[in-house]
Amino acid sequence: MHRVDGLTKGLAVPPGSTTDLDELVGVAHVTDSRHFSLPLMIAFDGALTSNVQVMRQYCASAGVELAPHAKTSMARGIVERQLAAGAWGMTAATVHQVAGLVSFGVRRILLANELVDAGAIDWIARHVLAAGTEFSCYVDSLDGVRILDTALAAAPGEPTLDVMVEIGFPDGRTGARSAATVLEIARAAGDSAHLRVVGVAGFEGLFPGFGTGSVPYGVAEFLGAIRDAAEAIAAEGLFAPEHPAVVSAGGSSYVDEVINHLHPSRFSFPVTTVVRSGCYVTHDHGVYERSSPLDGRASDGSARLTPALELLASVLSRPEPDLVIVGCGRRDAPTDDQLPRVVGRLRGSVPESLPGSAKSFAINDQHLFVRVDPAVDLRAGDVLRLGISHPCGAFDRWRLVPVVDADYRLTGYLEPALS
């Protein structure tokens, strides 16, 4: 039994009463206004299943491991699918996300970020390390090494923490900028009684030019710098000897480049290459459609990802022949890459494409402006299907995301945790 109350966005339950979602699974269509209300973000079961399998197969055949970035959805239902498909572990960006993953029962967590808050380090020591969860985080400065060392020395049992030296690039985000700094950090961490250097990491997904249909200039060089850093650390014997060193990079856009440049066969010592793609799992109708090696940059005939998220919203008004106002806005869909894209409409529970053009061009908090071909038959009350870009911002806006089959019948639901 899973009771949700009438204030849950997307449900049509009257305020003050509750509904049992489990009773609706397999029975209710999300188009049934007795149970659901628009706008509504939904996820297609078939697309989620297929995307998880496509990525599993892609990584397995390339000989790399996958620690999907959980920040995309922070939804137990997605994390469970990824782990069931053999994910090496899960990636987090914040301690709050680590806490979420621990509550989902994840046993290996990579915090792809620096830990510089003594309280957070203490929390990790008590609730993650002490519980036997395999955990590593980034460090990119001598200050970072000192902070970790001091906080761990004060934590109960003085635990040892696994760290990965993060490598960055000029004008980029975190990450040491030079080979000399990387070595200094690795040496300092190696000297600490509380730290073990288990690998190196970086993130190529934010290079200027990100999100187009080609790989940005500089990505290959950056990945080469990560490889060189790993070789230099290995040459000094600074990696913990118990396991192959972990070399980790890779979002969803240029994971093919990561595999190419950081494959274990590229190293002179034993390496486990771990990619951290997250958005592949829902894919999208925008930035990832353009940039993914499993979509916009795919070669003909190769396996493809499928957009799994769709925002359903009503036409509220057609005040001018070529203008349609739709009942969804910034509160319902991300806009950092592009506005929600009209992909079709629903007739009952049957998806149709629109016979003519319809293009979103402006958005308010709760309204979307769509320019339409005057000949298109669209009127108040019609339901539009909208594609989103990109997924993290979509999950941020919904506490309940119904999962549906191709007939828009409920097969389950996702409950994204606050990110």
Binding site residues, ligand PLP, CB under 6 A: 69, 112, 203, 205, 251-253, 276-279
Nearest CA among 311, 274, 326 for reference residue 391:
311
Identity of the residue, 112 or 354, whose beta carbon is nearer to ligand PLP in the bound complex: 112
Question: Which residue has its beta carbon closest to ligand PLP?
Answer: 251
381 φ, ψ (degrees, to nearest 5) = 100, -20
Minimal distance, residue 292 CB to ligand PLP, in Å? 9
Identity of the residue, 117 or 336, whose beta carbon is nearer to ligand PLP in the bound complex: 336
220 φ, ψ (degrees, to nearest 5) = -65, -40
List, as one string, the DSSP characters of 322-389.
TEEEES--TTTS--SS-PPEEEEEEETTEEE--SS-EEEEEE-SS-EEEEE-TTS---TT-EEEEE-S
Identity of the residue, 293 or 329, whose beta carbon is nearer to ligand PLP in the bound complex: 293
Minimal distance, residue 205 CB to ligand PLP, in Å? 5
Minimal distance, residue 236 CB to ligand PLP, in Å? 25
Minimal distance, residue 166 CB to ligand PLP, in Å? 9
Identity of the residue, 89 or 327, whose beta carbon is nearer to ligand PLP in the bound complex: 89
CA–CA gap between residue 29 and residue 40 (Å, rounded): 12
Length of the chain measured in residues? 419
Task: Answer for the pair 408, 29: CB distance below 8 angstroms, yes or no.
Answer: yes
Identity of the residue, 69 or 194, whose beta carbon is nearer to ligand PLP in the bound complex: 69
Minimal distance, residue 83 CB to ligand PLP, in Å? 17
Identity of the residue, 251 or 402, whose beta carbon is nearer to ligand PLP in the bound complex: 251
Identity of the residue, 182 or 279, whose beta carbon is nearer to ligand PLP in the bound complex: 279
What's the burial of 132, exposed, middle or buried (CB within 10 Å: 0-12/13-18/19+)?
A: exposed
Task: Answer for the pair 314, 381: CB distance below 8 angstroms, yes or no.
Answer: yes
Nearest CA among 334, 333, 375 for reference residue 358:
375
Task: Answer for the pair 34, 12: CB distance below 8 angstroms, yes or no.
Answer: yes
Identity of the residue, 93 or 120, whose beta carbon is nearer to ligand PLP in the bound complex: 93
Identity of the residue, 297 or 371, whose beta carbon is nearer to ligand PLP in the bound complex: 297
Task: Answer for the pair 125, 153: CB distance below 8 angstroms, yes or no.
Answer: no
CA–CA gap between residue 316 and residue 328 (Å, rounded): 10
Minimal distance, residue 391 CB to ligand PLP, in Å? 8
Minimal distance, residue 82 CB to ligand PLP, in Å? 12
Minimal distance, residue 204 CB to ligand PLP, in Å? 9
First to last CA, the chain: 25
Three-class secondary structure of residue 303 per DSSP: coil
Within its chain, how far is the Cα of 172 from the centroid?
20
Minimal distance, residue 375 CB to ligand PLP, in Å? 39
